[in-house]
Structure 1
Amino acid sequence: MDVVLFNTHDVVLLFTFLQCIVLAFILYKPQKERAVSNVFLLAFLLSNAVIPFELLIHFGTAFRPWAIDHLPNWFFVFEFGYWLQGPFLLWYLRSVLYKTIRVPLSDAFYFVPFVLFLLHQVIGYHILSTDEKISIQQSFKLHTESFSIYYITLMRELLRVYFGVLCLLELKNYLKVTSQKHIVADTSDVLWLRIVVYGFLGVWGWSVLVVAMLICNVQFFWHLPVGTMGIMANYVTCGILCGLVVVVGRKARVVENLEPVSSSPPKQHAGVTINLEYVEQLEKLMHEDKLYLESSLTLEVLAGKLSISPRTLSTVINRHYGCNFFEFINDFRIEDAKKRMVDPARSGATMLDIMYEVGFNSKATFNSFFKKHEGMTPREYRKKNTQAKEPA
């Protein structure tokens, strides 16, 4: 108990590791449809979780001397997280946003920097004897390393920023398309993705600045606060992960407390008069023509079918049905999906098949809206209702 290995800054790094593990447990979905997303998500969180250990071993005030004596072979082992964060975040984002995710062969080039780093570390450090490693670490001083190390580190941070920008462009493009098509996106899902993309892009950009300042200190003998800036980056990363835990935790709690949507007809607002002919035409378009099956259906398109303005249609839906356009259309899609799930003739259809057939084009939106509507996931609903129809 007389040995102190961690100070306050070190505890923040350990807490960051713990948050990554907690997020992995919370976000992991044991569903076949989420298998690819799960792989990329867990890989990203793992690569993010190991970085605090890399920082502890190299820069922990009390932990570094202890690690030199007891763990000399573990130096540089956890640095792989820096090189793999970007690709895994990009692939996870794509797997969540798009109908299908295929990793093209060209994406294998994303691993080239990691492979080069691995060869550099194995040849330059890991093949050495334990005594040589201890000697290297005991003589290590951040400001006296060779310039090649600084520029390799700078390239590493620029690479992370590059992937962060790619993620930002993917997210912005998705939000632009859904906005143009008036597709409902789950607010909490979008918030989670925004925090991840904007947060980590900001931290990675900050890290580029820190390394650039370090190079200026070494090459031009400046005295920029590199240590303080680096510690601030660790605290910001911890704060971002705290925000993610809160967002994901609140989403899970709200969904669990939802009651199934009532099947009783909505009440009109008192004192409000609407043209019931519009309601009748709207019912015909939905029940007979099944216009909701069109994934590209928008408020403007539906209003054109009724020969009324989008504003008038929005008012009719809001005041007669007590919901907005997106909720109105997706209610019909969910009801249709439920029928297809329990139809024996459709037993071979996958959830994705049914989702596309009824007009959804985002599995995240479909799963989220279905659970809010029915109080259970599509897979749970199908399993429950198909088992209930089986003879005893």
Structure 2
Amino acid sequence: MDNNKISWAKIFSIFGLIWLASSFIHPLHVSLGGKMVQINAYPEIYLIPLFGIWRLRTEKQPYQRNRIKWMLGLFFLYWVLLFNLYPKVPFVDGTTHTTYLAVHMVGSLPFFLMLIAVAFMGKRADCGWNCPCVFDRETIGFAFRDATLKGDFWWRFRHIKWIGLITVWGYFVYMLLDPAHAYQRFGETMYETILWAYYLSFLIIPFTGHRSFCRWGCPWAATWGVLNLAGFYKIKADTEKCIDCGLCERECDMGVPIRELINAKGMIRSTECMGCGRCVHVCPREVLTFHDYKDVFKSRNLSPLERNIRLAGGLTVAGLIVLDPGSPWGYLGLAFFFTGLFGFCPTYAMIGTVVKKIKTSAGRSKDL
């Protein structure tokens, strides 16, 4: 695609990105019924579905179409429904903050749950499939994907976000040492700075591509990236099949030097890979394959999709152990998490045994 070509999609994208950025940078208020109402508050609620429909209508790759469907579903489940059911969540310093931001605030319950998910599933648990920032960039900002800056020079810029990682984890230590004052003295300013960088980054998408903040500025992308290396996730390569066509690198929105990595290590195990699957599915020789916890703990009676749903969904429900201590649902979620992790459901096994006995009995009856 020619990145100099102006299209209606890019024009609408520019308006959408400006409106999205304005919700934080320049809130617009009007008087309604004697009350001041911000008319550009939470524009994600309607912009993501609108641009998501456009993505579904124009995306030709089956895996990416399926990914967009999952992203839209997860957006409504996690960032609309759960946000309204549990608008506040606890932090280790004893404070509570809005659920919408909490997954990207160190020390919160959702943050720790996401840490576990990323350790088993890789960075894709957040950055690839279930991050509000990603929803914005993969829908509203996607028209400028062709503007993505790639090459050795831009690849070096990934190290900038380590500054953010050191800052937020330094704050976490401060929070543990001085929970009464850490947020007021440092955390509030730190998060304000991150939010300014985040919202301003939408305005440079037409010049840098839709994932530039993820690549260079996001401290959470850096945190999950460390777990990409320490956890179970990687993309393995059968290098003997590779014809060095370069399609994988042209498809990668994170600017990862894929051929260099697979030639050196036989795999993509990078802090930058966000698990979108573009490189895997564009390869004409099927050189690349996903590997994660499912390849370590082999399944006995659950499909890969069901395992992922049980692991991620179980972790989410397990949060009720903290949010609603008197409820048994949190412990049920924990049970679902472990069945997904180890690929074995006792209930399925018992049902299978009963069905097998019934079939055996029926077979014997026919022989009589």
Give TM-score, length-normalised by structure 1: 0.27
Give TM-score, length-normalised by structure 2: 0.28
Bigger Rg, which one: 1
**Structure in which a larger fraction of residues adopt helix:** 1
